[in-house]
């Protein structure tokens, strides 16, 4: 990390310091090109115009959608999928690295939490993750935020010149 901070302070300032792969990639770019990643990325202008639209739900709607989605995934057999993967040789540690749902289901299957607690804590963890995602996306000033499909259609038509 100290090397990245020295050779590319701009990337160091915005990169996820807990993501080793991104740090390594930024250093690879520097060592292969002699330029910091921030300079290489800023040199590339997309060959076309594009429109970024973000759909923002009120928190209560987001929480409800997360709950409905999680219950549907569980009903579709996600617990069985995790059991099957473990039986096929995927370690608990590896399953936990697959993501939030796998991590919590693995804990449940190992007996470290009840099904009810697993669902409650997983729902909260997904909600917390979604809030962190929104914080990350909101840093991008190019995203046009909308709250409903009609507004997305309107923004798109305006962008297309219609």
Q: What is the pLDDT of residues 80-91, one digit of tens each?
A: 999 999 999 999
Domain membership of residue 150 (yes or no) is no
Domain membership of residue 103 (yes or no) is yes
CA 36 from chain centre, in angstroms, equals: 25
Model pLDDT, residue 16: 86
Domain membership of residue 125 (yes or no) is yes
Arithmetic mean of pLDDT, 43-68:
89
| pLDDT interval class at 144 (50, 70, 90) | very high
Domain membership of residue 90 (yes or no) is yes
Strand partners, 57: none
Model pLDDT, residue 48: 83
Arithmetic mean of pLDDT, 20-46:
84
Residues 130 and 87 reside in one and the same domain: yes
Model pLDDT, residue 44: 65
Domain membership of residue 114 (yes or no) is yes
More confident residue, 44 or 2: 2
Q: Kindly report, residue by residue over 91-106, the tens digit of the pLDDT.
A: 999 999 999 999 999 9
Domain membership of residue 12 (yes or no) is yes
pLDDT tops 70 at residue 42: no
Model pLDDT, residue 2: 85
Model pLDDT, residue 43: 62
Model pLDDT, residue 13: 87
Domain membership of residue 152 (yes or no) is no
Predicted TM-score (pTM) of the model is 0.69
Model pLDDT, residue 14: 87
143-158 residues labelled b (16+ CB within 10 A) or e (exposed): eeebeeeeebeeeeee
The number of distinct structural domains making up the chain is: 2
Query: Which residues form the domain of 127?
Result: 76-136
| Alpha-helix residue ranges (DSSP H) falling in 34-114 | 37-43, 59-75, 78-87, 92-97, 100-109
Contact 78, 67 (CB under 8 A): no
- Least confident window among 20-24, 83-87, 88-92, 107-111: 20-24
């Amino acid at each position: 990390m100290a090397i990245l901070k020295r050779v590319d302070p701009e990337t160091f300032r915005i990169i996820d310091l807990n993501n080793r792969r991104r740090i390594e990639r930024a250093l690879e770019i520097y060592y292969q090109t002699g330029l910091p990643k921030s300079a290489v990325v800023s040199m590339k202008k997309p060959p076309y115009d594009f429109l970024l639209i973000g759909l923002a739900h009120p928190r209560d709607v987001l929480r409800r959608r997360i709950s409905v989605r999680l219950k549907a995934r569980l009903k579709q057999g996600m617990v069985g999928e995790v059991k099957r993967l473990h039986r096929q040789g995927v370690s608990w540690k590896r399953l936990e690295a697959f993501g939030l749902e796998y991590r919590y289901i693995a804990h449940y299957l190992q007996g470290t939490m009840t099904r009810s607690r697993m669902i409650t804590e997983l729902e909260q963890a997904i909600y917390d993750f979604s809030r962190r995602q929104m914080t990350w996306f909101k840093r991008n000033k190019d995203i046009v935020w909308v709250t409903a499909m009609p507004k997305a259609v309107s923004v798109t038509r305006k962008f297309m010149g219609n």
